[in-house]
Structure 1
Amino acid sequence: MRHRFDGRALYASIAMAACSVMLSGCGLFFQNHEKRADAVLQPTPGNATRGTVTLIERADGVQVSYNLTDMPPNSDHALTVHERGDCIAVSEQDASPVFALPSDRRRTVSRLEGELGNIHADATGAATGFIVATDVSLDGVRSIISRAIMLHREAMDPYANAPHNVGPALACGVIRR
């Protein structure tokens, strides 16, 4: 007695194996991919401050984590994002304006999107921590990718009206993916 080969069972097995392989690969496609950028801050002429800034987009804003050294001990400093990704011309007169949407530039606002906040250096001149920036993003019209991030000599006064005078930059870096 001869048994006849049924190709349908073989094809069904192959199809099921292929589907399971494809579906396991879809997990990578549908995973929550983190939007992330980094900046390496280098000292401006005459200063020693340096460090890293990591930016991660979260549901409540961009988490700006910083790890900075060689700052003046026990001091407060403004951390700002500027329009152009240029750290060569960083004197107070030459630096590009603080990042802001065109609509905010036309009206008087107390705070611009690029004014991330103040950070505090400890007794050793180091600062580690994070700020959540709700007015910026890592893509779209509020994107700060390829812009300069600067640590300034002075802190921002949260109660002052714009423009804020925070002095020259101690360190500068360009935000990159």
Structure 2
Amino acid sequence: MRSSHIVLAATAALALAACGATPPPRPATPVVALVSTAKLAEANLASASASIVSGRLALVPDARGVHITGMIGGLQPLQTAAFHVHERGDCGAVDASSAGAHFNPGAQPHGRNSAGAHHAGDMDNLRADAQGRVNVDVRLPGVTLGGGAVTDIAGRALVVHANADDYRSQPAGNAGARIACGVIRVTR
């Protein structure tokens, strides 16, 4: 809320209190606008856990969050693999464990991005084609790109897992080993 709105609200509350009236209750959850400061970011996925999975992804903010597009290769033909944003932009460990847990600023249980409560970094599974490639076209709502807000995914990691996410098991959907990892880097 802008400072002029805060002053106006405080003045109204004081005036109502002086008259013996009770001010209206404040909303339980403040409405937070999604504001991304970056226009474009990329993540170059490198193999982890002795896999050959790699890829290059572009991230662009949109009206509801961030749109992720690109190509990932090196998966098994027709493999279904979990795909998440992780909390730390560190892919240095051989098994990508240095990327930490799923990005979860709202302290929600793990779940499916398209239904119910879930981590901000939870996304639907990827499905490889017969050559082990995935054309990624994912919208991740509720997150921002750049600006340092609690919902900002810039500087965090994108991780591909060996197994499909079951969307139920806590804390990570029983997704298995981390087979590719890339840090989200703002390019403009």
Confirm or deny a common fold (TM above 0.5). Answer: yes
Q: Offset of 1:173 from its aligned partner?
A: 0.6
TM-score, scaled relative to structure 2: 0.68
Asked if residue 149 in structure 1 is aligned to residue 158 in structure 2, the reply is yes
Q: Offset of 1:166 from its aligned partner?
A: 0.6
Asked if residue 162 in structure 1 is aligned to residue 170 in structure 2, the reply is yes
Match of 1:118 in 2: 125
Q: Offset of 1:51 from its aligned partner?
A: 0.7
**One-letter amino acid matched to 1:79:** F
Q: Note if contact 1:90-1:169 (Cα within 8 Å) is conserved in structure 2.
A: no
- Measured in 2, the distance between the counterparts of 1:108 and 1:129 equals 25
Match of 1:78 in 2: 82
Distance 1:89 1:57, change over 3 A: same
Q: Offset of 1:137 from its aligned partner?
A: 1.2
- Measured in 1, the distance between the counterparts of 2:110 and 2:135 equals 29
Superposed CA deviations along residues 130-173 of structure 1, whole A, max 9, x for unmatched, are 11100211032201111111111011123x15322211111111
Q: Note if contact 1:42-1:51 (Cα within 8 Å) is conserved in structure 2.
A: yes
- Measured in 1, the distance between the counterparts of 2:182 and 2:123 equals 15
- Please point out which of 91, 96, 103 is paired with 2:100: 96
| Structure 2: gaps spanning 5 or more residues | 1-36, 112-117
Match of 1:6 in 2: none
TM-score, scaled relative to structure 1: 0.72
Match of 1:174 in 2: 183
**One-letter amino acid matched to 2:121:** G
**Rg (Cα) greater in structure:** 1
Q: Percent identity?
A: 33
2:143 match: secondary structure? coil
| Structure 1: gaps spanning 5 or more residues | 1-32
Distance 1:148 1:92, change over 3 A: closer
Match of 1:69 in 2: 73
Q: Offset of 1:95 from its aligned partner?
A: 4.5
**Greater strand content:** 1
Aligned residues: 141
**Greater helix content:** 1
Q: Offset of 1:60 from its aligned partner?
A: 2.5
